[in-house]
Amino acid sequence: MSHLIAPSILAANFGNLHSDCEIINNSQADWFHIDVMDGVFVPNISFGTPIIKSIKKIARKSMDVHLMIVEPDNYINLFRDLGSDILTVHYEACNHLHRTIDSIKQKGMKAGVALNPHSPTSLLCDIANDLDVVCLMSVNPGFGGQSFIENTYKKITELNELKTKTNSNFLIEIDGGVNSENATKLIECGANVLVAGSFVFKSSDPMSTIANLKSI
């Protein structure tokens, strides 16, 4: 399977959100990546349900929703109703992760788990078979435009070893600091999905930037 590209709406121009969403629709991107932040789990607040509802009306590709919030279980139904195709929660925010993942799947969405940079991949060994996506944070979550953390390469290798050991089929998604300088190595290490925000939307030609990431 060719790798997937998921431009992050967090880096879009919110004064002209419809236009930036159409860029994703008309590009070689595969998913809309939507970061939901509550100002508690991470030190920032992104956007709420009205914005996501508006994006859903425009989006013609899968909505990959990343919850950087406390108590995500309380919002699974809400994000299902908003049209999420993939719902990712943080390992660090879930007291009963297996229950959370099962609830997401019961609601008809694909289930993902995100790991912060300090969290080892071994934490997922007992739940790997239940996951559709593992999202590795390659920056500390909360803000866009941060520098890539080099240890991410090692964690991709570890996750691929875990996939083999557990006979799992989850996709490995990389979120944070992705650009043309590290994308090739990320794919070579075994990443399946690249989330790119500032690198796409701050470029002079976002559609070409997405095409270049896709062609790697």
35 counts as catalytic: yes
Catalytic residue among 20, 30, 64, 175: 175
**Angle, CA 126 vertex, CA 4 and CA 171 arms, to 5°:** 5
Which of helix, strand or coil describes residue 55? Answer: helix
Catalytic residue among 20, 30, 35, 132: 35
Beta-carbon contacts of 106 under 8 Å, excluding residues fewer than 6 positions away, are: none
175 counts as catalytic: yes
Which of helix, strand or coil describes residue 169? Answer: coil
Q: Tokens for 82? A: 């908003």
Q: How buried is residue 155: exposed, middle or buried, by Cβ count under 10 Å (0-12/13-18/19+)?
A: buried
Question: E strand or H helix at 207, and its extent?
Answer: helix 206-214
Q: Tokens for 145? A: 């435009």
Q: Edge to edge, what strands does the sheet with 31-37 contain?
A: 4-7, 193-196, 171-175, 133-137, 110-115, 86-90, 62-68, 31-37
Q: Tokens for 109? A: 């969405």
Q: Which residue numbers are catalytic? A: 35, 175
